[in-house]
Structures are given as C-alpha cells and as structure tokens.
Chain A
C-alpha cells in the first residue's frame, strides 16, 4: 500500500465531488434534504380532525359529552348535523373525517349504567385519520363515562377508597410524549446516509463508462488502493452529513441528543465504512451508471426502508427478511442512532453493533476487491 497512490486517488475523487455538480448535490445536499422532507411527510402529528355530531338525545348530558369530546386540539366540531343524510353528504364531500351519532337513550342508559348508546362513523378512505378519530373519541367517551359513574357511586354513598380498581399506567420512557418525530429522525439518518453509498457505486461505474478504468488499471495504483481511495472521500463527505443532520435535528425538531457526540461520530464513521462498502460492491459489478443507480435503489434504499426496523419492527418480519436485515448496516446503525439520541447509551452498550458493522464492512470490501480483480485482470 503506497500512501502517494492512495492520496492521488483521494485527491482526484475530492476534486470530482467539488467539481461535478451532480455528485456534490447527491453527497452533500440530498441526505439533509431527504431527511427534512421525510420527517415532515411521515411524522405529521394528526390534529384538528373535523367531525360532525348528530344528537338524537338533546339532553344536558349529551351536550356536556360533546363539549368534552371537542375540548382538545385533536378533534374539531365541524357541524351539528340535523340528519343522517346531512352526515353522509359531509363525509362524501370530505368536509368531515368522522361523525358521532348520539342515540336517543344516551343519558338514560348512562345514568342507569347500561353502557353508552353511541355510534361512530369514519371515512374509510383515510384509515389513518379515521382510526385516530375512533381512538380519541373512545378515550374521551370512556373518561366521560367514568366521571359520571364516579359521581353515581359517590351519590349512592359508597366510598371510592373501598374500591380497588386495576390501575394500569403505561409510561413511555425516553420519548415520554410519544412524539413520532423524535423517533423517526435518528432512524431516518441511517436511510439518508445511503446516498453517499450511491455515489461510490456511481463513481466506479463512471470510470468504466468514460473508459478511464482501463487507463487506471495500467498505472501502478493497485486495485485495493483504488477502491479505498475512492471510498474514503465519500466517507468524509458522509461525515459532513453526520455532523450537520444532528444539528438540524436538535435545532429544528427538538430531538434530544442524550449520548456522547464523539462516540456518535466514531460509530457513524464505522457505519459509513460498512454502508459505502456496499456501494463499492455494486460499483464493481455494474459497468454503467444507470445500472449502478438502479441496483443501489434496490439494494441500499428500499431495504433501508422496509428491513432495518425503522418503520416496521424487525420482530414482525418473516424469518427470511429478518435474516436479511442482519446483513444491512442500516439495521445496526438504526439501533445505534436511537440509542445515542434518545436513550443516551454509548460504546459500552453499543459495541456489539459496532463490531457487526466492522464485520459487514470488511466482508463487503473484501467481496469488492475479490471480484474487482476477477472482472478486469
């Protein structure tokens, strides 16, 4: 290994990144841009869902109930409907996402402790919003009914202290308010850092396309010097993202950063080594940039979404997919980023994942070097 050769390739590649606008954007701008875009589109907090009400009871209790339902930011009363026809019309026009129909016996049943005669209709074309409405209406109705029942019990002279109901309280640690954004930003980091891997695949394919590869192989630069020299600049570029993105996450999305930043940088560099080695394997096999790009989407980006446990829990995957997820650097890095950002754990806990990333990186680089030789020698 000659450092002069290695430096020759690194320097050339850095010049490419700075001179070629496409590469510059892909490596230094795209990761941040995609992260912002995806955070906004995926982690939207559902709020102010418009609903309509059809009150057949028209009692003080039902009016009080309705008041409580729409007391928060989550559900807004759009219309006090007069008939089922009107509700149907509002649903079809998309003015409301859910409707609550209060039965004529609502207050009577409630006071007699016979349950709630309540009907909820949701717009099934938007199951996310509909499900949200059902959940929230359910919670409100339950607490409303409980309050009424407690009043009933008290008025009938039974002390509440003598009752020992099961008190199940769910507490979410590390993300106490269960804000989806907090969880998604560290996870997305492992996806958007795949873009420098695209560039590694593309830069190798580009040498084939412009037939400079043949010239390179006729120089005394060895194959491994060439591969490492091509990868290191993109690791450096990836590290720029590793520094910029947490700053944005902290300032913009109020994501907590509980771990050590230095350890985070080190673990990220190891991840980039593994992830970019994957790009290198693609670049070794694909001789054109378009083919390299297509395969990068297939091997780097899509599994990043579906198999690394960011959106879909790995435990819920079929066995084969679970196996595959182990071979994706993103799976391990997602655990690392969430750990460092949210839990605040460090190297002492995360070292097995770091070792796994080193193994994957070495295996991918080895594969690339092996086949690079066979393909052109």
Chain B
C-alpha cells in the first residue's frame, strides 16, 4: 500500500453501455475513516460507480483502487475485507433473522466458534433482540434495513459500501441508521454511501455531487458551499409564493434578468443570485408591480440543497449531456 490514509481512489473512470455513457471520467479519493457521500439524482450513475468498485461491472476505461488493490483485477483479494449493502435490502424473505445472519457470516468465512457471539452482537446492534426466529418478510422496512446493515458488517469490513440505504425508510429509522453509521466510523470503518437525500449529505465528512455520470462538485460540505456555489441565496418570505414565482418567470420570459432562478423551499422562496443587492431591489419592484406583499428578503448562507440545485442547473446550462 502506497498511502495508508487513502482507502478508495478512482481516476478517469468511464462506463459505457452501448452508446450510453453512464459514468463519464470520474475521479475521486476516499480517505480512511471517513463517510464519503455520493450525491445525485436517480439515474445519475451512482449505482454503476458502486458496482464498478465492487468488481461487479468492468469499467470501460480508468482505474480503481480499493485498499490499495486494483479492481477488478484482484477483486477476490478485496471482497473479504469489504461490506456491501445493495439498493434493495438483500435479505432472504423466507429465512429467519438468525438464518440470514448465519448465511452471510458463513459467506464471509466466519468460523463456527465465533458465529454465535457475532450473531448475538449483530442482533443487538440492529435492535432485533427476541426476533431471531422471525421470518424476515415479517419485518418492517426500517428493521430490514438495520438487519441488512448488520449482515453487511458481520465480518467487520474495512470499507462499507452502501447504495441508497435509506431510500424508502421513515425519518426516525433514517436517524437511527445514521447513528449506527457514526458508531461504525468511530470503530475505524470507512463508509462510501450513495443517497439522494440532501439532509443526509450534511452528515457526510466529504461528498461528491454526480449528475449525468459526471462529478460536478466535491469536497467537504463547507468547501462545497464555499467554492461550488457561485453567488448567494436570497430567501424571500411571502404569503403568495406561487404568484411571485410566476411573476419572476414571466418577467424572465420577457427578457428581464435571464439568470434569475427561483425555487420553492418549504414555505419560502430561494433565489440564486450573483448580484444580491440589485436583485433584492428588482424583486421588490417586481412584487409591488404585481401587487404581491413581501414580508422579508434576506441574503442567507446556502444549504447543501441550494448548492446542489445550483450546481445541477449550471451543469445543465453548460450542456454537457445530450438530452
């Protein structure tokens, strides 16, 4: 191993399915002991990237190293040292909780002498005490998700790959799931996680935004907010959000302030602006003209969601994809 602090490194990674480029020259580095978030909308290439790192798909071009070992050439050396939780919690519904755990334990070569204690630990970790003999199909989504995570870490992997582990899980279960992840990271496990939940991105140590198979921004959440975002966010509080957004876009269609983009943000409106002062004045005039009452306009620190949407819009305007 050249550098002990680097767990995953990819460079110039490309995956093509026929004419379609699913992943286009992706390079990133994941450091030991961090949670690296891979954030992007559905179909942006997250799962394809994760499958390439696990040796399930051969890359069309580029290189991958996991734990300093090249993938997919020497994937069999790596598989025992990593854990993976695929998109649908891959458990066997007809088997019980304990049988599922035992299977994955054996699959990862746990010796029979340790099996009992390892499974007891895993059951405790997922909070399924007393449900060992329950068929997995009788568990709710949140429990299944925690069981799948426990199964993926039975063998104490050095790296954990999670592909949208929280999709379709209720907020409380998601919260518990992240608490579990932090416990694992505290033990020294490196986590690579894909998600399309913006609030989860804030939990990651470092992230990459991916869209149409390309990374459009990466770094720590703070770095991304500082560097990737061009301009500021204006937060508008009004009781007539829809009317105001309509007015902004109507004015834009008539040639006014073409770069102005308005997004609904809860009951508020967020506007990405490179000239906040002029735009504040402009918006106030516009609102007055349309007879819309604005309670307040303020320049705020952008959230990751703001940054992500701004980045996606920029890359779309750049016209990097063919659609």
Q: Are B106 and A210 in contact (CB under 8 A)?
A: no
CB-CB < 8 A to B74: which residues of A? none
A221's nearest neighbour on chain B, judged by CB, is B107
Known A218-B84, A376-B56; contact A15-B90, beta-carbon cutoff 8 A: no
Q: Is B28 an interface residue (CB 8 A)?
A: no
Q: Are A220 and B109 in contact (CB under 8 A)?
A: yes
Write the nearest CB–CB distance from A351 to chain B, whole angstroms: 38
Q: Are B93 and A211 in contact (CB under 8 A)?
A: no
Q: Is B55 an interface residue (CB 8 A)?
A: yes
Q: Which of these, B72, B95, B107, B135, contacts A219 with CB under 8 Å?
A: B107
Q: Are B86 and A218 in contact (CB under 8 A)?
A: yes
Known A210-B93, A217-B56; contact A5-B86, beta-carbon cutoff 8 A: no
Known A220-B80, A376-B56; contact A211-B109, beta-carbon cutoff 8 A: no
Q: Mark B85-97, 1 if CB is under 8 A from A, else 0.
A: 1111011111100
**Residue in A19, A212, A220, A221 whose Cβ sees the most chain B Cβ within 10 Å:** A220
Q: Is A41 an interface residue (CB 8 A)?
A: no
CB-CB < 8 A to B80: which residues of A? 220
Q: Are B107 and A5 in contact (CB under 8 A)?
A: yes
Q: How far is the CA of A106 from the CA of B316 in the complex (A)?
A: 102
A16's nearest neighbour on chain B, judged by CB, is B94
Write the nearest CB–CB distance from B98 to chain A, whole angstroms: 11
CB-CB < 8 A to B99: which residues of A? 12, 15
Q: Are A211 and B58 in contact (CB under 8 A)?
A: no
A20's nearest neighbour on chain B, judged by CB, is B94
Q: Is A169 an interface residue (CB 8 A)?
A: no
CB-CB < 8 A to A214: which residues of B? 51, 56, 86, 90
Q: Are B92 and A377 in contact (CB under 8 A)?
A: no
CB-CB < 8 A to B58: which residues of A? 377
CB-CB < 8 A to B51: which residues of A? 214
CB-CB < 8 A to B135: which residues of A? 19
B95's nearest neighbour on chain A, judged by CB, is A15
Q: Is B79 an interface residue (CB 8 A)?
A: yes
Write the nearest CB–CB distance from B146 to chain A, whole angstroms: 16
Q: How far is the CA of A12 from the CA of B76 in the complex (A)?
A: 22
**Residue in B54, B90, B161 whose Cβ sees the most chain A Cβ within 10 Å:** B90
CB-CB < 8 A to B104: which residues of A? 219
Q: How far is the CA of A220 from the CA of B82 in the complex (A)?
A: 10
A377's nearest neighbour on chain B, judged by CB, is B58
Q: Mark A210-246, 1 if CB is under 8 A from B, else 0.
A: 1110111111111000000000000000000000000
User: Closest 7 interchain pairs by CB?
Assistant: A8-B106, A215-B90, A218-B84, A219-B107, A19-B94, A212-B90, A220-B79
6 contacts across the A-B interface (CB closer than 8 A):
A4-B109, A5-B109, A210-B93, A217-B56, A220-B79, A377-B72
B→A interface (CB under 8 Å) = 51, 54-56, 58, 72, 76, 79-80, 82, 84-88, 90-95, 99, 103-104, 106-109, 135, 161
